[in-house]
Structure 1
C-alpha cells in the first residue's frame, strides 16, 4: 500500500474549529499553498495534547498533515502544528474584526483553491489587529475586503461604470451596488465616492504591492466604503447575516 502523501510545514491560520468527538476537533484552515482545507485534529481537546494551546484563530502556524485516500477527500489528518509567533492574540474590537474576516473566508473561498497573495494580505491584517494601532482598524478591514472580492472575481473594475463601461468622471459620484456594480450615485444612495477616488483604489489594487497600496488608498475613504462593501459581501455570502456581523450589531446596541 502506498504511503499517504504528506504536506509538511505549510504556513496556515485556523479559521474555525468544530467538535468531532469528545476529544477531537475538525479544523477549517487557510493555508498559503493549499488554500482552505479541513483537518481532523485527533485528541486535540485532551488536556495533555500538544495541539491544545496551539490551534487558535488569528495565530500564524506551520502545519503538517497527511492527505486522506487519493487526496480528494474532504477531511485530512493533522499530524503537527507549530506556532510561528510574532504577535499576541488580538482583543476587543480587533478580535471581533479578525473573526469577521475568518467568516468571510469560510463563506467565500472554495476548498483546495490556493490564494497565496490573499494569504499574505491576511497575515498582514492579523499583525495589525494584534498591534496597538486601533486607528488603522477600519482601513485595514476595507482593504482586505477589496482584495478578497478582487481575488475571487467578485469585484467589478473600479475605473469604469460596470453596465456601460463608460469611464469615470473625476468629480462625479459613483456607488458600488450588489446588483449593478459601479454606477452613478442617485439621490437614494446613502454612500458614494468621487470618480477620482474609485480610480485611485483601482490603481492600488493593480499595484505590485497591492496590500500596502490598497491600505493607503482606503485611509481617506474607509467610512464611505464600509456600507458599500458590506452590502456587496452580504449579497455574495447569501443569507443569513454573517454571525460575527450580527454580534457586532448586537454589542453596539447594548
Structure 2
C-alpha cells in the first residue's frame, strides 16, 4: 500500500529502468519490506547526478523514497557493495530473474523471504562458479512460485492429496499441479522421492540455499516443467530474456 511517509535505508535491487524525461528515469525496484515499487529518479541521467553510477541492476542498494502516488520519488540511493556485476550468461540469467519478478509480483506486495532468496541468487550469479548457474535458476524459480502461491505442495499428488510413491514418476503441470507422469515420460518428470526432497528443502528456514543442491541433482528434468509452469502464469510462450539467450547462442 502506498504511503506518503519517507522510507529510509531500505534494502533494494533495481529490476528495470525506463527513460522518463531527458534527465530522469522511472525505476522498477524490488525492496525487502515494501515489495516491488516504482520510483522516479529525478535528474539521474545528468552527468553530475550521484544516482548515475549507482542505479544498476543486480547490485545491492540501500534506498530512501517518499510520496503517496503510484510512482514515488527516489530521495537517496547507496551501493552496498560486496559483489561484482555478473557477466556473460550470468548477466543474462540475472535479467531473466528480473523479468520473472516484474511479470509475477504485484506492486506493493512485500515478500521479504523472496527478497533474501533473490539476493542469494544474485550472489551466485556474481561468483565465478559457472556450474552453479543453472541450479541457482531452478532453485529461485521454485522459491518464487512457492512464495506467490503458484506452486503446489510437492510431497502430495495434487488431484487426490495422496502421498507420493517413492519410485513412481510425477510431473508438475499447469492447472493440474503434481500428477502421475505418462508412461515413459522421464524427461519431464521426477520420481516421488526427488519431489519430496525438494519440498523438504523449500520448507527449510533458508529455502534457496537448501534447494540449490537438490535442484542440481535433477536439473535436466526440472527445467522443462518449471519453464512450462512459468510461461503459463506469465501468459507468454517465451520470455524476452530467454529469447535473447537463444538469439545470442545462434550467432
Common topology (TM > 0.5): yes
Task: State the distance in 1 between where 2:37 and 2:103 align.
Answer: 13
Which digits, 9 at most, give the CA deviation of each residue in 1:176-215, with x for residues without a partner? 1113111111147441111000000001111122121111
Cα 1:188–1:41 shift into 2, 3 Å = farther
Which of 89, 92, 95 is 2:88 aligned to?
A: 92
1:114 maps to which residue?
110
Which digits, 9 at most, give the CA deviation of each residue in 1:42-71, with x for residues without a partner? 010111111011000000000001123xxx
CA RMSD between the two structures? 1.1
2:131 maps to which residue?
135
2:148 maps to which residue?
152
TM-score under structure 2 length normalisation: 0.96
Paired positions, count:
247
Q: Where does 1:15-26 land on structure 2 (aligned, <5 Å)?
A: 15-26=15-26
Specify every segment of 5 or more residues in structure 1 that has no aligned partner in the other structure, as ranges.
none
TM-score under structure 1 length normalisation: 0.95
Q: Where does 1:80-229 land on structure 2 (aligned, <5 Å)?
A: 80-187=76-183, 189=185, 190-229=187-226
Runs of 4+ in 1 over 3 A off after TM superposition: 187-190
SS of the aligned residue for 1:17 comes to: strand
Does residue 10 of structure 2 align to residue 10 of structure 1?
Answer: yes
SS of the aligned residue for 2:52 comes to: coil
Task: State the distance in 1 between where 2:135 and 2:236 align.
Answer: 26
Specify every segment of 5 or more residues in structure 2 that has no aligned partner in the other structure, as ranges.
none
2:234 maps to which residue?
237
Task: State the distance in 1 between where 2:184 and 2:45 align.
Answer: 52
